[in-house]
Amino acid sequence: MHPLPVASRGVAGVHGVARADTAQAEWLAAQAVAALIDEAELTPKPALVDQRGSGAHVDLDLPLMRRSAQALRPGFMAMARAAQGRLPDQPLREQLAAIGRDAERAMLAVTSGSNAHRGAIWILGLLVAAAALGDASSVSHAATALAERAAGIARYPDRHAPVSALADSHGARVRARYGAAGARGEALAGFPHVVNIGLPALRAARARREPETAARLNALVAIVAVLEDTCLLHRGGAEALATARRGAARILAAGGVAQPAGHAALLRLDHELLARNASPGGAADLLAATLFIDRIQPDGWRIAPSVQE
């Protein structure tokens, strides 16, 4: 149990509020980084970087993913601080976008130019900011409320976004070709694959007393089964997306990865996606968002169990 730090009751005035705000921002940033590392270390994932190796990503590995996540801590903290005492509006949206671009540069600096967490900066940045809206004493929100607050920020345009980010990214090209919503569409819709798919799958597996690793893998698989993953579409086209969805459906039909048949189906999907050099990177980002929201429970900001528990 690691509750959110707040200023002591004996401290009053501006300084006490400032300390509470700083503690909140530091805590939210730490939970975002931890969620990214939890996602990266989760093993075995289908064709994704994990403790076995690089999956379909020849330019990434687990130590690099950890470094990338840690490099984002100052950016997430800055996003939380920017949102404190605010309501969603266009100036906040544009301030968060500018911080996000700085965070992306920090990520690229430690990864030698590899895109480890670009999508996660957008997704988790919005959720961190949404959790920090208002003041440090009113940050406890149900998942649906938190996701909707994040969507409220995302719905404002960023008038300062580089043209290349709008039209020339992998995600933009995939959206134009296949009509997939991508990370932007997911945020605008209030993160339905997190709130309605990932979190329920994670908590249902825990309710069945499955190991934490299996619970997190089941959440990932549940998202893969229904998401129009732009990473899969970019790397392998519609065939890769169909392969991933069929494979995920087989795992779920077998009772999930805690069952021998489900675990075998997971390894089969890993093999099939590696053969196509494609991975569900979009689903991985949404799993990180699921784990982040799960870490900040409404009743006392409980920390989720570790995979060792």
Q: Is the model more confident about 140 or about 254?
A: 254
Alpha carbons 96 and 48: distance in angstroms, whole number: 28
Report if residue 5 sits inside a domain: no
Q: Is 169 contained in some domain? A: no
Query: Strand pairing partners for 53?
Result: 50
Domain that residue 148 falls in: 18-158+181-295
30, part of any domain:
yes
Residue 305: inside a domain, yes or no?
A: no
DSSP notation for 165-211? HHHSSHHHHHHHHH---HHHHHHHTT-HIIIIIIHHHHHHHHHTT--
Confidence of residue 201 (pLDDT cuts 50, 70, 90): very high
Q: Rounded to whole angstroms, how far apart are CA atoms 245 and 8?
A: 50
Summarised one tens digit per residue, pLDDT across range 11-38 is 445 566 678 789 999 999 999 999 999 9
CA distance 248 to 224: 6
* Number of domains observed in the structure of the chain: 1
Residue 41 domain-assigned (yes or no): yes
Classify residue 167: in a domain, yes or no. no
Q: Is residue 272 part of a domain?
A: yes
Q: Residue 195: what residue type?
A: V
pTM score, whole prediction: 0.88
Average pLDDT over residues 173-192: 82
Q: Are 171 and 184 in contact (CB under 8 A)?
A: yes
Amino acid at 115: N
Helices (H), the chain: 13-41, 62-71, 73-83, 90-110, 118-132, 143-154, 163-167, 170-178, 182-188, 192, 199-207, 212-226, 230-253, 260-275, 281-295
In a domain, 141, yes or no: yes
